[in-house]
Structure formats: structure tokens, C-alpha cells
Amino acid sequence: MSDFGSPSDIISLLQDIEQRSQKSVADLSEKALYGSWTAIDFRIAEDHFLIPLNETREVFPVPKQITPVPKSESWVFGIANLRGELLPLFDLKHFLYGQATKVNKRSRIIIINHPDLYSGILIDEVFGLRHFQQEPENTSSSSDNKISPYINGSISQQDTSWDIFSINKLVNEHRFLNAAA
């Protein structure tokens, strides 16, 4: 066992360790806040996109029991009971491309993080979180496809580029909010 000397030497050593630890945590927190951007990597049809993490609440597998909603648009997937709360579900591929999602073991529900709209969107597949050292470039898409109004920018990493899908733009779309047939 090492001899540290007096109790005041031990206290000084512990205080030094505490100060260095607090500085390291502060440095890491600053990097986490200012040096990275995180998003969920997902697929609709053959297209890959990112949703900013702050626009989502959670991701989970498609529930086994989904109740259809009568007299609703065809892209309304149904209603599910999630931990005692009714969750409206929308088929994003059907809304955007007019093709119903074929639910399989890779299909997922992403809950929208919006104060006035508790709902989930069905997507084909989630690949996980992606972390970037820079913020995405805010660009508007000039293409004529049906998804371009919901693209909020793009980002690249290691020779791969993604378009940023904006849930906020989706939930502000009149057609999306008017789900009655």
C-alpha cells in the first residue's frame, strides 16, 4: 500500500482528482452540445433519410394489434394502444408515394415529437442512430418528387449523403392533418 503522508495530502489529492474529473465532464458536455448532431437513419421504399433526433420521441416495432379507422384516408394505418394511450398511426410510404407499406420484422413506428400531435408514422426500416460532427446544410430540394416538400437539408459522412426528412414540415402539411376521407 502506498504511503500518502498526512490526511491533508490525501484530501489535496482527492480534490485534484475531482477538479480534473469535472473539467473532463465539462469538456465532453461542450463537445456533445456543440460538436455533434444526431439523427435516426431510416428507409422508405428504396430511399434512405435521416430524421433529427429531437423531432422524435421513440422508435418501436409495429404493434400486433392495430385497429383500423373507419372513413379515414387510405394512408391512415390505424390506432394502437401504447402503454394505455391510444396512438394514431400513419403509413408514411403510403402518404408520400401512394404505396402501402408491407409490414415485416424490420418495419418500425416512429413517434412524432410534437406538442399538439401525439401520433406515430410507419416506416419500412430503421438502421439506428447516426452521429455527425457538423450540423446538416439547410437546403431546399429543387426536385419535383412528392417527398421534396419535406426535405429540410442534407448531410454527408464518409462518402454517403442523406437528405434530412422534417417531421415538422410533415405535421404542418394540411393534407397530413386532414386524415378524414
Which residues are 86's β-sheet partners?
A: 81
Distance CA 23, CA 66 (A): 50
Q: Which of 20-34, 41-55, 95-109, 143-157 has the lowest mean pLDDT?
A: 20-34
Inform me whether the pLDDT recorded for 97 exceeds 90.
yes
**What average pLDDT does this structure show over 115-119?**
91
Higher-scoring residue by pLDDT: 27, 167: 167
34 pLDDT above the threshold of 80 = no
Is pLDDT of 155 > 70? yes
Please tell me the predicted confidence (pLDDT) of residue 26: 61
pLDDT band at residue 3, thresholds of 50, 70 and 90? low
Give the span between the Cα atoms of 151 and 111, in whole angstroms.
18
Provide the percentage of residues in the chain whose pLDDT is more than 70: 87
Task: Inform me whether the pLDDT recorded for 55 exceeds 90.
Answer: yes
Contacts 24+ apart (CB under 8 A), 138-142: none
Residue 126: predicted pLDDT: 96
The percent of residues above 90 in pLDDT, for the chain, comes to 57
Integer angstrom CA distances of residue 43 from 31, 135, 163: 29, 21, 11
Residue 28 has pLDDT above 70, yes or no: no
In whole numbers, what is the pLDDT of the chain averaged over residues? 87
Give 89-155 as a DSSP string: EEEHHHHHHS------TT-EEEEE--TT---EEEESEEEEEEEESSPPB-------STTGGGEEEEE
Q: Which of 32-36, 153-157, 164-168 has the lowest mean pLDDT?
A: 32-36
- Residue 46 in this model has a pLDDT that exceeds 80: yes
Rounded to an integer, what distance in angstroms lies between the CA atom of residue 59 and that of residue 135?
22
User: pLDDT tens, 64-84?
Assistant: 999 999 999 999 999 999 999
The reply to whether the predicted model has a pTM over 0.85 is: no
